[in-house]
Amino acid sequence: MTINAGILNVTGYVGAEIARLLHNHPDARIAGVTGRSAAGKRLPEVFPHLFAIDLPIAESLPDGVDVVLSALPHGAAAEHLIPFVEAGVPVVDLSADFRLRDVHEYEAAYKVTHPAPQMLASAVFGLPELRRDEIAGARLVGASGCHSAGVILALAPLYASGVIEPQVVADTKTGLSGAGRALGLNVHFSEADENVAPYGLDGHRHVPEMVQELAALAEQPTPRITFVPHYIPMTRGILSTCYARLKPGALSNEPAKARKDMLDVFRGYYRNAPFVHVSETAPATKHVMGSNYTIVHPSVNLQTGDAVVTSALDNLGKGAAGNLVQCMNVMFGLPETAGLQTLGLFP
Ligand SMILES: NC(=O)c1ccc[n+]([C@@H]2O[C@H](COP(=O)([O-])OP(=O)(O)OC[C@H]3O[C@@H](n4cnc5c(N)ncnc54)[C@H](OP(=O)(O)O)[C@@H]3O)[C@@H](O)[C@H]2O)c1
């Protein structure tokens, strides 16, 4: 079976990355791509590195696609996807429009009215490591945000196994492609180079989905997440560092045994997760650049009683286009890893 995939908004960073991944996919072909301002051009005119995908950029997808992969911004995504969802065409969306179950949380975080709140009940949060079975039976998947993927994958084993208190702190250092292709002062070379700054201190939009997904894992007090992202002058990658207080007696008092206990918790949790590598050493964003892998490193500080978990992923890979293709594979009953087994590009 070959899946005919349509890509909405191929001319953003994420759309281009979806096209690059599908080009190497053994069971999918690109049936059509759309763009707004670039409609009428051919894809290699906009992205010369995609010279082998010589497709016209259209205003809409051709009839009969088997799946719609959307890289539109939030709001626009739901508006464009309504007819496909109503027609029963499988959809994976990378915007925030179908990630949250509670429309009020969505509207408070994104400051817009949701164009299709009636569709939220049937949508599934797209992170196969947590929701593989639901994604397999879904027609509408709202793929995880990039920061959320890094933080959720770092914290899920600890939260699900009940060894940490619900108050956690997480920070991320993220590459500038996370801000998308549109121009802005924060990605101006003179202001971004040799510079690090936090943002979203008054409540980042990804926190509600982190809480939603972690809370669904265990009958415990809802997690409270203090989250601060930072842009740093690199192109791709997110390094997440998550700090959580261990419950008294949760781990051995003996450091080597406690470290092993932590690794066992993570290795057990991710034993069927082909794209999560549990590492005994700290990850770096260069270890996953261009790949769909997340490297997770659990560590424990017995002096303070804290677990500190670091994770690294590529925001355009497991944080976006790679995870979307992984969700598509699961929805269509393909091997989860199809088209995605490239290791990180190093150095
Ligand atoms: N970048 C990441 O790391 C990342 C990670 C996870 C999820 N996402 C999500 O993936 C989606 C795409 O992100 P991106 O980084 O690829 O964005 P991007 O590179 O900034 O692409 C956004 C482009 O979409 C087009 N656009 C804007 N409004 C539109 C509308 N109403 N209808 C049609 N096209 C419109 C514009 O291009 P024109 O002006 O040329 O039409 C705009 O430049 C977003 O929902 C984002 O939140 C991004």
Give the pLDDT of residue 8. 98
pLDDT digits (tens, 9 = 90+) for 236-277: 999 999 999 999 999 888 999 999 999 999 999 999 999 999
**Pocket lining: 183 vs ligand 1, CB cutoff 6 Å:** no
The residue ranges of DSSP E strands in 204-283, in sequence order, are 224-231, 238-246, 276-278
Q: Can you tell me the distance from the alpha carbon of 187 to that of 192, in angstroms, rounded to the nearest whole number?
A: 6
Give the pLDDT of residue 1. 82
CA angle 257, 259, 260 (to 5 degrees): 65
pLDDT digits (tens, 9 = 90+) for 110-164: 999 999 999 999 999 999 999 999 999 999 999 999 999 999 999 999 999 999 9
Long-range contacts formed by 100-108: CB under 8 A, 24+ apart: 100/142, 100/208, 100/209, 100/212, 101/212, 102/208, 102/212, 105/208, 105/212, 106/208
**Pocket lining: 190 vs ligand 1, CB cutoff 6 Å:** no
Residue 209 CA, ligand 1 centroid: distance in Å: 19
* 146 in catalytic set: yes
203: pLDDT strictly greater than 90 = no
The mean pLDDT of the chain is 96
Q: Can you tell me the distance from the alpha carbon of 18 to that of 247, in angstroms, rounded to the nearest whole number?
A: 41
Give the pLDDT of residue 77. 98
Give the pLDDT of residue 23. 98
Are the CB atoms for 204 and 227 separated by under 8 Å?
yes
Token output for 79: 């508006």
**Pocket lining: 146 vs ligand 1, CB cutoff 6 Å:** yes
Element (H, E) at 132: helix 128-136
**Pocket lining: 206 vs ligand 1, CB cutoff 6 Å:** no
Residue 218 CA, ligand 1 centroid: distance in Å: 34
Token output for 260: 């092993």
pLDDT digits (tens, 9 = 90+) for 204-221: 999 999 999 999 999 888
Q: Which phi and psi angles does 211 have, rounded to 5°?
A: -65, -45
Q: Burial of 267 by CB count in 10 Å (0-12 exposed, 13-18 middle, 19+ buried)?
A: middle
pLDDT digits (tens, 9 = 90+) for 81-115: 999 999 999 999 999 999 999 999 999 999 999 99
Mutate to test the pocket of ligand 1, among 94, 146, 239 (most ligand atoms within 8 A of CB): 94
What pTM value is reported for the model? 0.97
Residue 3's pLDDT band (boundaries 50, 70, 90)?
A: very high
**21, 71, 146, 155: the active-site residue:** 146
Q: Can you tell me the distance from the alpha carbon of 128 to that of 136, in angstroms, rounded to the nearest whole number?
A: 9
Token output for 139: 């027609």
